[in-house]
Amino acid sequence: MPPKWKQVSKSVRETRESGNPLVVRGHATLNGANPSHLSIPFRTKDNVHCFKSPFQLGVLPENMRDDPQYSSDFPSDGVTERFRDGLRDGDLVLVATDGLWDNLYESEIMKCLHESLSSSLLDSQGENPSTTNLVSRLKQASQALCEKARAVALSETKVTPFAAEAEFAGENHFGGKLDDITVILAFVDLREVTLGESASVPQDVVGGEVPKAKEEEAVKE
């Protein structure tokens, strides 16, 4: 894994700076999909100091470090709660930046997931879908959420979570909020996979084929 991706993973895991992890549960498993029954057993709370001031990592100039209006957060500050129930087979884990949460309510997110996933978590014979099909469907669902959030962000009239928070804070804001939008969807599959067995992401997703020699070395390790 490239260093930059390790850092992104660390940021999401330790600080939640990149967004609020949300677990979606229901019958959306590999052996019995019914996304209309999806529910949310866990979502982390918003890590914010106040309205429009989320937890974030950064290096402040020395003359600003003692100023209370500027935050100086550490990775440990973001670990405020854990999903004690634990992940189960078939759970979906959604991690996203503010551009999603500020523009879409949970009900809108769930509806979008239902529409994106309902037709392809199972094939027409009711058998387990291939890894390729599953990854492709998760990719489509992620893109659908991004596109929906972007459309709302450009709206000047849509009722949004950010507008509601602004009103609560005594500020006037109408419509969506332009912000970076990143969505990561993970599907929990607890089936055992032996070393060397094919359970990898399709090459067209990761971009390029793995040389045979290197692939064999990886299996031996």
pLDDT one-digit tens code per residue, 187-199: 887 766 554 444 4
Torsion angle, alpha carbons of 104, 105, 109, 110, to 10: -170
Q: Is the pLDDT of residue 138 over 80?
A: yes
> What is residue 34's predicted lDDT score, i.e. its pLDDT?
44
Q: How high does pLDDT run on average in the chain?
A: 69
Q: How many residues does the chain have?
A: 221
**Domain range summary for the chain, segments of one domain joined by +:** 3-220
Q: Determine what percent of the chain is predicted with pLDDT higher than 70.
A: 57
pLDDT digits (tens, 9 = 90+) for 97-137: 889 999 999 999 989 988 887 755 544 344 455 666 778 88
